[in-house]
Amino acid sequence: MGALAMVSLLVDGYVDSLFGEVPSTYTAVIVEALFWGFSFLGLYGWIVSNANVAIGADFFNRDVLFWRKGGRIVAPALFFAAYVLANLPPWWAPQAYEGPVYDIVTGLFVIVVAYAIAVLSVTYLRIKDRRIKTYTLWVALSLASVLGLGVSPTEIGPIFEVALVYFMYRAVRSLAIRTSSLSTS
């Protein structure tokens, strides 16, 4: 899911260069919404699936910050609301790309990602299994870099992009099975 989001974010940058940051035609609005929707889906999957794995690894089966009681439903709903608001056509909401609507979109995004980071951080402190604990640490750091990427100025965005790739790589590598030889039987 994280790789899907990464590739999608790179493609989104190219699509933005074709249609502009603020799409002005019906086709541009649809194409931008489609590509950004794919990115939101990837990020949503990365957040929810990793939070569920980390919480499931807790031996005592504790609910971290009410994730199981409603957080796993409210977080995606807020994420979806941010996506819908961000993709309003400019002729419906000219202020969607700046001003109060943009601030609401950014706020919803920050709330969801910060909540996921908090859930993963608390879970990290509770997990006893070293491999899952290491995995949870790298996932939390990758989400922190997503948060930094979402709220940082464009000039320092590449720093967070490189950090995101590295943290996702370390997360996946931390669960990899390492062996020098495989059985042939």
- Decide if pLDDT at 81 tops 90: no
Q: Amino acid letter at 49?
A: S
Q: What percent of the chain has pLDDT over 70?
A: 88
> Which tokens in the block code for residue 121?
């951080």
Are the C-beta atoms of residues 45 and 4 closer than 8 Å to each other? Answer: yes
pLDDT (0 to 100) of residue 130: 86
pLDDT (0 to 100) of residue 95: 58
State which of 16-20, 48-52, 76-80, 93-97 shows the largest mean pLDDT: 76-80
pLDDT in tens, 133-169: 898 999 999 989 988 988 888 788 889 888 988 998 8
Q: How far is CA 53 from CA 24, 50, 83, 130, in A?
A: 41, 5, 25, 14
Q: When comparing pLDDT for 179 and 112, which is higher?
A: 112
pLDDT (0 to 100) of residue 24: 76
pLDDT (0 to 100) of residue 144: 93
Please report, for the chain, the start and end positions of each structural domain, with discontinuous segments joined by +: 2-129
Q: How far is CA 58 from CA 9, 71, 74, 163, in A?
A: 32, 17, 22, 27
pLDDT in tens, 41-71: 777 787 788 888 888 877 777 788 888 888 8
> What sign does the CA torsion over 119, 52, 109, 15 have?
positive
- Decide if pLDDT at 2 tops 70: no
pLDDT (0 to 100) of residue 138: 92
- Decide if pLDDT at 8 tops 70: yes
Q: What ranges in the chain are assigned the alpha helix state H? A: 2-19, 26-56, 72-86, 100-126, 130-151, 157-174
pLDDT in tens, 87-119: 777 777 665 567 777 788 889 889 988 998 999
Q: How far is CA 49 from CA 77, 119, 160, 177, in A?
A: 15, 12, 22, 20
Are the C-beta atoms of residues 148 and 109 closer than 8 Å to each other? Answer: no
- Determine which of 9-13, 28-32, 54-58 has the lowest per-residue pLDDT on average: 9-13
Instruction: Give the chain's end-to-end CA distance (angstroms, integer).
Output: 33
